[in-house]
Structure 1
Amino acid sequence: MLDPARSYDLIGDVHGCAHTLEHLLDTLGYRKQSGVWRHAQRQALFLGDIIDRGPRIREALHIVHDMVDAGQAHCIMGNHEFNALGWCTAAPPGSGKQFVREHTARHARLIGDTLAQFEQHPQDWKDFVQWFYDLPLFIDAGRFRLVHACWDTSMIQLLRGQYPDGCIDEHFLQAAAVPGSFACNVFDRLLRGTDMRLPDGLTLTGGDGLTRAFFRTKFWEDDPQTYGDIVFQPDALPEEVASTPLSSSQKNNLLRYGVDEPLLFVGHYWRSGRPSAIRPNLACLDYSAVLYGKLVAYRLDQESVIDPHKFVWVDVERVQVQP
């Protein structure tokens, strides 16, 4: 799918920040020609989550779609594109649901900005929803890999048996309506990552206002001892939870991405601070652009270890509206 000898610019979660994306592309040396952002030598690789939350979702989708269509970019699926597909797709008979992604108040809130911004462009939205099926759930270029949230080798091998290029269809999407199904597990693992239930029935309300009984976990820690060693999300665990020892079974159930595996780039996790590698072969490029953080890229050439000097980003500033 990709030329492993080519140079690439990997770009984290855009979430409707179209103007910031254009600023980043310009900073990376791309120029808009015939309506498409292009680079003479490089190609952009987007890590998914182009939609939802931001102020210019439709514009962001057009930028990315047009680059992909012109051969200037590739884009993988994020959990928000999957959510949109599920929102628009009827659930299979016998699932007990009307849609793959049920139309609850919580789900409506997450997709609300996107639907509102396409309200006057229904055919445009229909076309984009269909295009989401063209977004693979992963890219394995040999020397490097892309997935929105978590690389699970065994699960990806099974998925490849059905969908060699990583692009799923409506049948697979509908199968995800059944909790515990292979399709449901694939979407949860690759597009949302690994998680663990909080102990003693606890719940946490995050900075996004949503209350959860689970927390996101690292999938690379070699010898974790406590809950705090594996938490990987913007919201910290309470100290009494963070210091709680992990049981042997919990440790054994953790997924681990080894340091000897190919370079891996993910989005999804709302990081903060100065963009940097997590490990020599692992980087997250989501730095909360839509929450006035950073829209981040990594300039990948032929290196086999992530170079800390090759992160490029645009800081998203709050614009003061004058009365």
Structure 2
Amino acid sequence: MTRQAAIEGYDLIGDVHGCGATLGALLEKLGYHQRGGVYRHPRRRVIFLGDLIDRGPRIRLAVSIARRMVEEGEAHIVMGNHEYNALAYCHRAPRRLGREWLREHSPRHNRIIKETLDQYRDHPAEWEEALAWFLEIPLFLELPGLRVVHACWDQPLIDSLRQSHPHGQIDEAFLEASVIPGTREFRILDRLTRGTHLPLPQGVEIHSGDGFTRRSFRAHFWAREPRTWGDVIFQPDNLPGDLEARALTKEDQALLSHYGLEERPLFIGHYWCEGIPALPTANIACLDYSAVKFGRLVAYRWSGEARLDANHFVWVRGPQEEAARPRPWEIDFD
């Protein structure tokens, strides 16, 4: 029997956001143990849903754990918007764009990536290696029986990406084109790693719990026949006033995609869920439960089922563990 044939399932892990010690605790809880500096399980593999970096206190540890597992064949990973943001932030723009960096070093962008750059400041070679690895991470995975993407599975855009990049991995030319609104590359990166955003009415803003002022809201993609904004909103922040009852316009409807119940199980992160993990539909699991914001780092133990089961969620609380002294499961990578 081959090693791959012996695998009984995958443990899919949501947005880590620098909670490296919490990730170690979750892996231990799932039955993974270090051998040769890599977390391993005799019968299972991990799939990371992206957003390893930013915000948390042990970003290098989180990246090191995931990268070592992926490179040793113990895990897969898809790219999150924060890995994409880091690539664009650190990549110089071609002259035709008229700016120095692909992602402008604005106060907001500086603030988002600050913790990551601070923690890698004394390890520049390690950061360059991490960036090179980020560029190798695919935007989606389609494995027997399941699909994985960071924010939104949009079949036409994934089919378009496959035509030029069969394995879902982008290159520098794709990265450069992706920062130009309206390009095919922009649409693919934006939808797969950030999902759908519907614009708020003129003059209306959401003052989000994460400190940002938003003029749009995140919409999900599994409502069969949505009619109002409340049918598709998918974020912790409530819509102001009575906007949940606002009817979806034809323009709104054109922005939405749909993932039907007849499709294979899909796993996503990105959306800052709260509370006890639950399934939005029988074939979709969101695994981002705000680990770095005193929430939970969540995994789903998938063993081939076509209809998902909320009893298969496993989680640890965060980030209390992050303030503790290094634990035995932490990797010494200095």
TM-score range (shorter-chain normalised) is: over 0.9
Q: What is the CA distance between 1:321 and its match in structure 2?
A: 7.9
Considering only aligned residues, what root-mean-square deviation do their CA atoms show, in Å? 1.8
Q: What is the CA distance between 1:92 and its match in structure 2?
A: 2.4
The one-character-per-residue Cα deviations of 1:232-281 (angstroms, maximum 9, x if unpaired) are 11111013211222224423442111110111000000001111211000
Separation in structure 2 between the aligned mates of residue 171 and residue 16 of structure 1, nearest angstrom: 28
1:175 aligned to 2:160? no
Deviates more, 1:76-85 or 1:237-246: 237-246
Deviates more, 1:96-105 or 1:115-124: 96-105
1:258 aligned to 2:291? no
**Paired residue for 1:13?**
15
CA separation of 1:139 and 1:108: change in aligned 2, threshold 3 A? same
**Paired residue for 1:230?**
232
**Paired residue for 2:158?**
156
Q: Is the 8 A contact 1:151 1:257 kept in 2?
A: yes
**Paired residue for 1:93?**
95
Q: What is the CA distance between 1:316 and its match in structure 2?
A: 1.7
Separation in structure 1 between the aligned mates of residue 255 and residue 320 of structure 2, nearest angstrom: 42
Q: What is the CA distance between 1:199 and its match in structure 2?
A: 1.6
The one-character-per-residue Cα deviations of 1:42-79 (angstroms, maximum 9, x if unpaired) are 00100000000000000111111111111111111100
Question: Which secondary structure state, in structure 1, belongs to the residue aligned with residue 159 of structure 2?
Answer: helix
**Paired residue for 1:54?**
56
Q: What is the CA distance between 1:142 and its match in structure 2?
A: 3.8
Question: Which secondary structure state, in structure 2, belongs to the residue aligned with residue 221 of structure 1?
Answer: coil
Taking the TM superposition and a 5 Å limit, the aligned residue runs for 1:1-40 are 6-40=8-42
**Paired residue for 1:119?**
121
Aligned counterpart in structure 1 of residue 243 of structure 2, from 241, 244, 255: 241
Q: What is the CA distance between 1:6 and its match in structure 2?
A: 4.3
Give me the TM-score of the superposition, normalised by structure 2.
Answer: 0.92
**Paired residue for 1:185?**
187
The percentage of counterpart residues that share the same residue type is 48
Question: Which secondary structure state, in structure 2, belongs to the residue aligned with residue 239 of structure 1?
Answer: coil
CA separation of 1:274 and 1:321: change in aligned 2, threshold 3 A? closer
Separation in structure 1 between the aligned mates of residue 124 and residue 254 of structure 2, nearest angstrom: 48
**Paired residue for 1:291?**
293
Deviates more, 1:148-157 or 1:213-222: 213-222
CA separation of 1:253 and 1:58: change in aligned 2, threshold 3 A? closer
Q: Is the 8 A contact 2:60 2:119 kept in 1?
A: yes
**Paired residue for 1:276?**
278
The one-character-per-residue Cα deviations of 1:79-122 (angstroms, maximum 9, x if unpaired) are 00000000111122322332111111100000000000000000
1:90 alignment partner AA: R
Runs of 4+ that moved beyond 3 A: 2-6, 317-322
Q: What is the CA distance between 1:3 and its match in structure 2?
A: 5.9
Separation in structure 2 between the aligned mates of residue 178 and residue 321 of structure 1, nearest angstrom: 40
1:201 alignment partner AA: G
Q: Is the 8 A contact 2:198 2:217 kept in 1?
A: yes
1:135 aligned to 2:158? no
The one-character-per-residue Cα deviations of 1:116-160 (angstroms, maximum 9, x if unpaired) are 000000000000000011110000114210000000000000000
Give me the TM-score of the superposition, normalised by structure 1.
Answer: 0.95
Separation in structure 1 between the aligned mates of residue 261 and residue 194 of structure 2, nearest angstrom: 22
Across the two proteins, how many residue pairs are aligned to each other?
A: 321
Q: What is the CA distance between 1:319 and its match in structure 2?
A: 6.9
1:137 alignment partner AA: L
Q: What is the CA distance between 1:289 and its match in structure 2?
A: 0.3
Q: Is the 8 A contact 1:142 1:262 kept in 2?
A: no
